Structure 1
Amino acid sequence: MNAPDLAPIVAIRRDIHAHPELCFEEVRTADVIARTLEGWGIEVHRGLGRTGVVGTIRGSAPGGSNRAIGLRADMDALPMTEHNTFAHASRIPGRMHACGHDGHVAMLLAAAQELAAHRERFSGTVHCIFQPAEEGGGGAREMMKDGLFERFPMDAIFGMHNWPGLAAGDFAICSGPIMASSNEFLIRITGKGSHAALPHNGIDPVPVACQMVQAFQTIVTRNKKPIDAAVISVTMIHAGEATNVVPDSCEIQGTVRTFTLEVLDLIERRMDEIARHTAAAFGASVVFEFQRNYPPTINHRTEAEFARAVMREVAGAEHVHEFEPTMGAEDFSFFLQAQAGAYFMIGNGDGTHREHGHGLGPCNLHNPTYDFNDQLIPKGAAFWVRLAERWLAQPAA
């Protein structure tokens, strides 16, 4: 994209950054996106996943391809306070675009503008998907419940996220697992309270909890295969109100992350068994709750390698890297369970792009001093356009 085309998109990005909205509350953001798409003559559909927007662009090149591709950008913010003071900093206390979803929207809007202006270059259909509630709300799943893939059939779907620390404009991708599943557990242990000087009169739930926490790690080291990745993190233990009282209950909470559902099944089953039998051994009772939030994000090999080839066309082979899978999670995983596709990263740089007035912290995701690098918009948009045109140019599905 040329510089004259970029300025309005940057203005939209910064306007969205200044007016962040949390999951399923993206009404203003959706309005901005829909109005912008309609202004370019793009067919707009609203209300999928409550606040989601889909812009459909049909090519006019000879050939009449029946192929279709989905390009996805998330658009929700985080419930955190921004420390930046530059002009486009958040104007809503306790809300911030600290993960770059404003930039993801901008890159996809820029691509949509280019595709709509040059429909003669491709045959087939591009669905630009602006998804709500990635940050914990499962907006991808909700869009699917509202018939995303039935109403907008597509051969593949692709998603892109900015990645701080990776050189600005470079790309990174891998086949197979790229992000982990995200799951939470809560364990309530009930014993019998007593005076701390007379512990034999009660059943202390605290040592029960300690035994469980230690035993959970043996699932990772002794139950699963060593080559299978998994993390069990106990992040909260709550018990007691006074130093001279043995409490009658204790609560344990934490997270589990895996790259496969098979390992996740194993961990949930073994945690439940350990919790129940450990409590029984001490004469206590227990309630074990396990909540599966997002499944692992697993790229389809054919689509991932296709995207990698397009990245090399756009950025050059030396600027395309193998992504090391991360234990972070992403609800694009729901899309990839139902539809072929791939998820990948574009480098956000080292933070030196930030203007005067940025906070003193690093430009990392979910950090109060983060800001998206607007220099990525033309590169990200160019990739989206090239990917769509190359995908649609393939033989009929």
Structure 2
Amino acid sequence: MIEDMLRTPAAVQDSERHTAHNYHPLPVVITSAEGAWVTDVDGNRYLDCLAGYSALNFGHRHPTLVAAAHAQLDRLTLTSRAFIHDQFADFCRELAALCGKDLVLPMNTGAEAVETGIKVARKWGYQVKGVPAGQANIVVAEGNFHGRTTTIVSFSTDSDARADFGPYTPGFRIVPYGDLAALTEAIDEHTVAVLLEPIQGEQGVVVPPEGYLPGVRRLCTERDVLFIADEIQSGLGRTGATFACEQEGVVPDMYLLGKALGGGIVPVSAVAADADVLGVLKPGQHGSTFGGNPLACAVATEVVRLLATGEFQRRSAALGERLHAGLRGLIGKGLVAVRGRGLWAGLDIDPALMSGRQACERLMERGVLAKDTHGSTIRLAPPLVITEEEIDHAVAQLTAVLAD
């Protein structure tokens, strides 16, 4: 009995003993999962309301995706791009069609997709727009989160992500998110791209003002600048549409995709754009050993096919309304504000009550997993397979935490 009681604390300590402390996870050790639920080493079940930061949009171990992975594991897992494999064409063709773009460039992680987008935008600027060599600049937004490479953190405004990792990569201009006037002023003849998250996830699921994204689209068109939408977290059904940009009637020049594209099984990312943009790359100028590997393509193709039916987008929209209605009912009862779209929400807790970390710890004790960010803010991003009853359960547990 005593050993059983100590099992989780011991497993937590063991997991921390030989790893760099670049994360501060909740003290839960997960051993299995299915759908919207995970189970820890002691057999306790938790409703997963983070879904791997949207990497698990289709839930844990979605049967269609697991079957695709198993089938491919028995056949072929890696060739490198030195050769062509039989899963590659279907994946690229079907993802390009989902995005409404000519071409796809597969990579592995979201950060790689962002780095790829930056490189492509600069090369496009020099070869197509005619920007003088070495003079290209890209405009980004305060509060952004695009990854953690040295180039990407160079234009982060989060001190934790940026401090002590210099010298920093030049060529970026930072403006306030949602401020179209500031963006207009920042663009000059050497600007090659505007890189934005349609909804800022890490910042606390911040939705821009109405009309901002259409304004960005118009401005980029007028000034001959690429509009790059980082839909790594916001895309692939999360907000109630295939892409968050859709809800503003906006089509960017380039989509950056990741997380959910791998179905929670393998890391898969991609850049999607038309041939006049992605076509600037020639053999040897960019690539990845594992990017577009057979296992990744087999799983990601099934992800694209799940999205092609529209079922998950509709679920996210309908269930998101239920989630947000429940959360808005807690404003003034412990919550200060609620933001988001679809099955994605940022909640600002009254800091006089507790921190975001404390709220997540208390939710964990009640069988719900969520993640804090920036002090008293927590994020909810349950998998799109969650049910109405499970949403109500999550809201009820949050209600109890705030009341306590």
TM-score, length basis structure 1? 0.27
Q: Which has the higher strand share?
A: 1
Greater CA radius of gyration, 1 or 2? 1
